[in-house]
């Protein structure tokens, strides 16, 4: 399983050539973006579309170049096409190279949104990048964990079947009885 590319982040894409979750700040200089909705989808990351609205949404940005860590960066999210601001984070420096922005209630309505990123250089120059995403698309998060419990229960039954001779005999008898009844 270690060598399976399915387990690698973003499907095992090597480099930024096939990575759809990136902003080009300057030619060949990138900022990586991932969105999370941890209350609704604890183990999933998103890029171009967020399934839920009105839920905690975290936007995470990673600099892929050291040089940007000394620049202040500003973030804004707008509802499109009207350009209405729904989130804003003032310019500040992030020395670690990772920025986590919490939108406590995500976005309020389904539709198209645009993330505006502005890097402020010491000489006053501004580098602007934009990336769009859709919100409220896909399946809403299930409020029930019944599916997880069913899978866990079936896994336990299967383990019992494999390790316990009495369970194997009982299931074998049930299968034979079912086959005999279906042929009648």
What DSSP designation does 81 have?
Answer: T
Q: What is the pLDDT of residues 9-58, one digit of tens each?
A: 444 444 445 567 887 877 877 888 899 999 988 888 898 889 999 999 99
Q: What domains, with CATH codes, occur in the chain?
A: 5-135 (2.60.40.2550), 146-183 (no CATH)
**Can you read off the two tokens belonging to residue 26?**
């300057």
Integer angstrom CA distances of residue 46 from 32, 51, 100, 161, 166: 12, 9, 14, 38, 46
What's the predicted TM-score (pTM) here? 0.64
Instruction: Work out the average pLDDT over 164-178.
Output: 86
Decide if 22 contacts 30 (C-beta within 8 A). yes
- Residue among 62, 70, 136 at smallest CA distance from 101: 62
Question: Are 24 and 119 spatial neighbours (Cβ–Cβ below 8 Å)?
Answer: no
Q: Looking at residue 27, what is its pLDDT?
A: 80
């Amino acid at each position: 399983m270690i060598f399976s590319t399915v387990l690698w982040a973003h499907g095992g894409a090597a480099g930024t050539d096939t990575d759809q979750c990136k902003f080009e700040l300057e030619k060949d200089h990138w900022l990586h973006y991932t969105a999370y909705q941890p209350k609704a989808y604890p183990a999933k990351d998103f890029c171009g579309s967020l399934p839920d609205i009105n839920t905690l949404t975290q936007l995470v940005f990673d600099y892929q170049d050291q040089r940007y860590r000394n620049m202040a960066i500003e973030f804004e999210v707008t509802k499109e096409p009207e350009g209405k601001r729904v989130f804003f984070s003032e310019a500040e420096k992030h020395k670690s190279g990772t920025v986590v922005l919490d939108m406590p209630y995500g976005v309020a309505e389904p539709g198209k949104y645009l993330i505006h990123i502005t890097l402020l250089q010491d000489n006053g120059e501004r580098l602007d990048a934009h990336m769009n995403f859709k919100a409220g698309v896909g399946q809403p998060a299930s409020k029930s964990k019944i599916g997880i419990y069913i899978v866990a229960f079936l896994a336990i039954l299967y383990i019992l079947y494999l390790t316990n001779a009495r369970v194997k005999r009982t299931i074998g008898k049930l299968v034979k009885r079912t086959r005999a009844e279906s042929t009648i």
